[in-house]
A and B are shown apart, each in its own frame.
Chain A
Amino acid sequence: MTTDHGLRESRLVYYADNMDQIDRVLGEFLRRAGARSAYLIDRDGHLITHVGEAGNVDPDTISALVAGSFAATKAMAKLLGEQEFSALFHQGERDNIQLSLVGGRAILTVLFDDSTTLGMVRLYTSDAVRKLGELFAKSKAGATASSEIDPAYGTNVDRALDDLFKDAKP
């Protein structure tokens, strides 16, 4: 078993090739739907990729909150006998967020304002979700990725931890 194989089997691993395609799909989606930005977030709350305006939104924080929100909604769905709710919509005075489940693993988070409509966003979201699902499936089918973590990572991470936690006196 190669290291790379091990990574692919046991981790959430995203490679540059896949990501280029994902970004293209999201870019096209934003253009057509007229939305401001799109975040693809995995269900553990980690950001996979982001396309569009960054604004003042901290991507890590919104990823954690979106994942939490989606997880809570799934729990509610189960109480109602549903497997899960595949889409969520948060409406604000100016900005809105539409969340859609992608292939059971990721959440497409779309930020949009009144320059477009919810219907417009929903319309093109379904198409984007389908395309992203296909990309994920294709990725699983086995793109050969040459990416690996640098062997020096193990040693350097120790030093980085020491630096960051230098206040941690023994």
Chain B
Amino acid sequence: MVQINFARKEINCKLVYYGPGLSGKTTNLEMVHAKTPDAHKGELTSISTDGDRTLFFDFMPLDLGEIAGMKTKFHLYTVPGQVYYNSTRKLVLLGADGVIFVADSSRAKLEDNKVSLDNLRENLAEMGKEFGKFPVVFQWNKRDMPDAMSPEELAKELNVVGAPAFEGIASRGEGVFQTLKALSKIVLASINSTDGGMSQGPDPVKAPTAKSAPAAKPVAAAAPAQKPAAPATPAPAVAASGGLQIERNNIGSGVKPAATTAASAGPPPARPDARPSMVAAAKAPSAAGGLSIERNETPPPAAPSTPRPALAAATSAPSRAPEPSRSAPAAAVEAPRQSESGSTQDVSDLMKKTVSASDARSSARMDDVFRREVKVIGGKLGPTAGSTSNKNSAVVAVIAVVAVALGAALAFFFLK
């Protein structure tokens, strides 16, 4: 999920390299890391096995720099490709804003590619995201394999949604940046869309898919660079929206010249996950010439199936809201006797109450006093929390027995 942090003036996006084992995901990331200037990259962290196979994920932050006052960062992750690591793969995929699917071009690996793609579709569905609407870019990697399938064949077998696709030989750095750049554009274009981006946008009109059009034809060799016009004069559409304008049919422009054919290829095949945006017709860049992506379909008013929570969407404040009062500091001594779950909170409350009874000057001093006291308490709350619980239970039992005895005595007295 894209994070927009106005306080830190940051925009953070999470991009994930997905694909079957040994397809070149980590190699892509290593190449990005190797070729990116130091000022724009962070450390490449890998959680891998002794045999250098990705166990959990590889990670590197990529800093795009400050754009219109907002520092923009991509967090790049890879997933472990092996089938049996699906649980960790799902964890990495959680919160992703876009996926680069790295497919092995080798004919012998076609089945592995299909299995991995199905797995991606399933995992996205579990997260309430529809594969056809989620930002995905394909990379046909290992083009130097002797039994490499043609890009057209690969597109027909794998790229049924007509997403942008690029040929690559990651080990030589070929196609690595093109792929990443294409996904980056798509993800950033969705930042200011009011529908929450492609993963949640209104159901788009179905468009031709790769089955009927050469939309997924590799375009790495034909991608004309978009030349932005003067940034000070953004396109009217951009200005009107107060931010980025999503023009879905322009996403592929500049990276998919073959897409024009796709748009004119007639009605789409009846595929439930067809996505028009990625197969989109190649249009001239907008007047602003920048990342202007506009929807040319009429968005139905349907609400997103899985609305993303805003900052506090999933938060729930604890119901307890202790009011400061002027309690005796000595009460803190009793704190460890509280039930285990509440003991830390109660001691904390007592500390707070005590501190609030003092002025700001004495507060610091009292903190020091209590720090010493609480260190003792803290020791009990920490590693020995279990034994504290047992003691608490015993104390409660004793109090209960005494209360019953007192009650009986009083009853006897009154009856008499």
Give the residues from 124 to 170 in chain A that come closer than 8 angstroms, CB to CB, to chain B.
Answer: 124, 126-127, 129-130, 133-134, 136-140, 145, 147-165, 167-168, 170
Contact call A160/B196, Cβ cutoff below 8 A: no
CA distance A17 to B315 in the complex (A): 18
CB-CB < 8 A to A45: which residues of B?
14, 75, 95
Q: In angstroms, how far is the closest chain A Cβ from the Cβ of B387?
A: 14
Contact B311–A14 (Cβ < 8 Å): yes
| Chain B residues, Cβ within 8 Å of A34 | 371
Chain B proximity of A35: nearest CB distance (Å): 12
Across-interface contacts of A129 in B (CB, < 8 A): 318
Within residues 295 to 325 of chain B, which ones have a CB less than 8 A from any CB in chain A? 304, 307-318, 320-321
Q: Assuming A123-B344, A158-B228, is B91 touching A75 (CB within 8 A)?
A: yes
The stretch that binds A, out of B40-48, B274-282, B408-416, is B40-48
The 8 Å CB contact of B196, one of A6, A46, A151, is A6
Category for how many chain B residues contact A = 35 or more
Are B315 and A159 closer than 8 Å at their CB atoms?
no
Closest to B347 in A: A123
Instruction: Tell yes or no: B244 within 8 A of A by CB.
Output: yes
B317 touches A154 (CB 8 A): no
Stretch at the interface among B134-142, B208-216, B230-238, B398-406: B230-238
CA separation between A150 and B163, bound complex, in Å?
A: 29
Residue of A nearest to B219 (CB): A170
Q: Is A5 an interface residue (CB 8 A)?
A: yes
Contacts of B192 in A (CB 8 A): 3, 6-7, 149, 153-154
Does B193 touch A at the CB level, under 8 Å? Answer: yes
- Cα distance, A43 to B12, chains bound together (Å): 13
Please determine whether B243 and A154 come into contact, CB atoms closer than 8 angstroms.
Answer: yes
Asked if A122 contacts B8 (CB within 8 A), the reply is no
Q: What B residues does A130 contact at CB under 8 A?
A: 317-318, 320-321, 345
Taking CB as reference atom, which chain B residue is nearest A152?
B68
Contacting residues, chain B, for A72 (C-beta < 8 A): 56, 88, 91
Q: How far is the CB of B14 from chain A (nearest CB, A)?
A: 6
When the two chains form their complex, are residues A155 and B290 in contact, meaning their CB atoms are under 8 A apart? yes
Return chain A residues, CB-CB under 8 Å to B87: 75
Contact assessment for A105 and B7 in the assembled complex, using a CB-CB cutoff below 8 Å: no
Q: A154-B244, A157-B72 are in contact. Are A60 and B6 (CB under 8 A)?
A: no
Q: Mark B371-402, 1 if CB is under 8 A from A, else 0.
A: 10011011111110000000000000000000
Query: From residue A33, how far is it (CB to closest CB) to chain B in Å?
Result: 9
Q: Are B8 and A117 in contact (CB under 8 A)?
A: no
- A12:B2 contact, CB within 8 angstroms: yes
Separation in Å of the B242 CB from the closest CB of chain A?
A: 4
Cβ-defined partner of B314 (8 Å) among A20, A105, A161, A168: A105
Task: Decide if B358 is an interface residue (CB 8 Å cutoff).
Answer: no
Inter-chain contacts of B188 with A (CB < 8 A): 157, 161
Q: A105-B312, A123-B344, A148-B243 are in contact. Are A160 and B320 (CB under 8 A)?
A: no
Q: Is B264 an interface residue (CB 8 A)?
A: no
- Min CB–CB distance B54 → chain A (angstroms): 12
**How far, in Å, is A147 (CB) from chain B's closest CB?**
4
- Whether, in the assembled complex, A48 has its beta carbon less than 8 Å from a beta carbon of chain B, the answer is yes
A104, A122, A140: the one contacting B344 at CB < 8 Å is: A122
Name the residue in A32, A136, A152 with the highest tally of chain B Cβ atoms < 10 Å from its Cβ: A152
Q: Are A155 and B291 in contact (CB under 8 A)?
A: yes
Q: Is the CB of B56 within 8 A of A153?
A: no
In the bound complex, CA of A152 to CA of B192 (Å): 12
Chain A residue contacts of B72, Cβ below 8 A: 157, 160
Interface-facing stretch out of B107-115, B144-152, B179-187: B179-187
- Would you call A150 and B70 a contact (CB within 8 A)? yes
CB-defined interface of B66-81 with A at 8 Å, one 1/0 digit per residue? 0111101101010000
Nearest CB of B to A2, in Å: 8
**B22 / chain A contacts, CB cutoff of 8 Å:** none
Contacting pair A61 B59 (CB below 8 A): yes
Choose from B11, B57, B321, B367 the contact partner of A32 (Cβ within 8 Å): B367
27 chain-A/chain-B pairs, Cβ below 8 angstroms: A13-B5, A16-B6, A19-B6, A32-B351, A42-B3, A43-B94, A65-B59, A68-B91, A117-B378, A119-B374, A119-B375, A119-B379, A137-B312, A140-B311, A149-B68, A151-B68, A152-B231, A152-B234, A153-B68, A154-B292, A155-B234, A157-B290, A158-B290, A161-B64, A164-B62, A165-B181, A168-B178
Closest 4 CB pairs of A and B: A119-B378, A103-B315, A10-B196, A155-B290
Apart from A44-B1, A46-B3, A120-B371, what 16 extra A-B contacts exist at CB < 8 Å? A11-B191, A13-B6, A19-B7, A64-B59, A102-B315, A116-B371, A118-B378, A118-B382, A123-B347, A123-B381, A134-B318, A136-B312, A160-B65, A162-B228, A170-B222, A170-B225
